[in-house]
Amino acid sequence: MLLWEVGGQLATPAMAAADGAKPVPKPPAHVRCKNFGCNQYFDPTRPECTQCVHHKSPPVFHETAKYWACCPDRKAYDWDEFMKIPGCQRGVHSQEEPKKKFLGGCDIREENAPKRLDDDIPIDPRKKLDKLRAGLQLIGVEEGDFDRAWGRLAARHGDLGIVVNKLGEALTDALRTMQEEGVNTPD
């Protein structure tokens, strides 16, 4: 008979089965919380059971400073520092896309002007970045390296659409360089 070790004691298959008498339901697909600064995965069927610490307002990348619009007293000057700024809101995780994901320099200057900025910022680049991150992770690229790279681009260009374009150019360059190197390599 097969024996398992369970918590330091030997258990028979029958005991192990009795332990898990109820069939274990397939874990539901988890989704990433879209609240600002959260990024945690959660079970979308039970958001009320989650605890989410996040920011009320979008990130602002202005020249070298990075901060959350709701917490302007906590400014960071590098990516790691920025990611460590604790959330100012407590609540539950959410799948709902906050209206505006990103504030660039222009938005700060116009902060007190009549609002008509939010709606035409496409959320698309953010999704592209997510997919790209997932794909790169699959081939062994560190998530942190990727996040720092796009964080720096975001800080410099202030627009995620440009960030996506720059990443596309950089990766194309890398691939073409690789090709040329391959061609030039003597046998």
| Stretch 74-113: interaction string toward Zn ion, x if CB under 5 A | --------------x----x--------------------
C-beta closer to Zn ion: residue 60 or 71: 71
**Binding residue for Zn ion (CB under 5 A) from 71, 121, 129, 155?**
71
* Nearest CA-CA partner of 117 in 126, 129, 128, 104: 104
35 forms part of the interface with Zn ion (CB under 5 A) = yes
Q: Which stretch binds Zn ion (CB under 5 A): 37-45, 105-113, 151-159, 160-168?
A: 37-45
Minimum separation from the CB atom of position 167 to Zn ion (A): 26
33 forms part of the interface with Zn ion (CB under 5 A) = yes
Minimum separation from the CB atom of position 163 to Zn ion (A): 22
Residue type, 83: M
38 forms part of the interface with Zn ion (CB under 5 A) = yes
Minimum separation from the CB atom of position 51 to Zn ion (A): 8
Return the residue matching tokens 């600002």.
Answer: 36
Residue 161 phi/psi, 5° resolution? -60, -45
Residues whose CB falls within 8 Å of the CB of residue 42, separated by 6 or more in sequence, listed in order: 30, 31, 33, 50, 52, 93
How distant is the alpha carbon of residue 147 from its chain centre?
8
* Nearest CA-CA partner of 59 in 105, 106, 103: 103
**Contact residues for Zn ion, defined by CB under 5 A:** 33, 35, 38, 52, 55, 68, 70-71, 88, 93
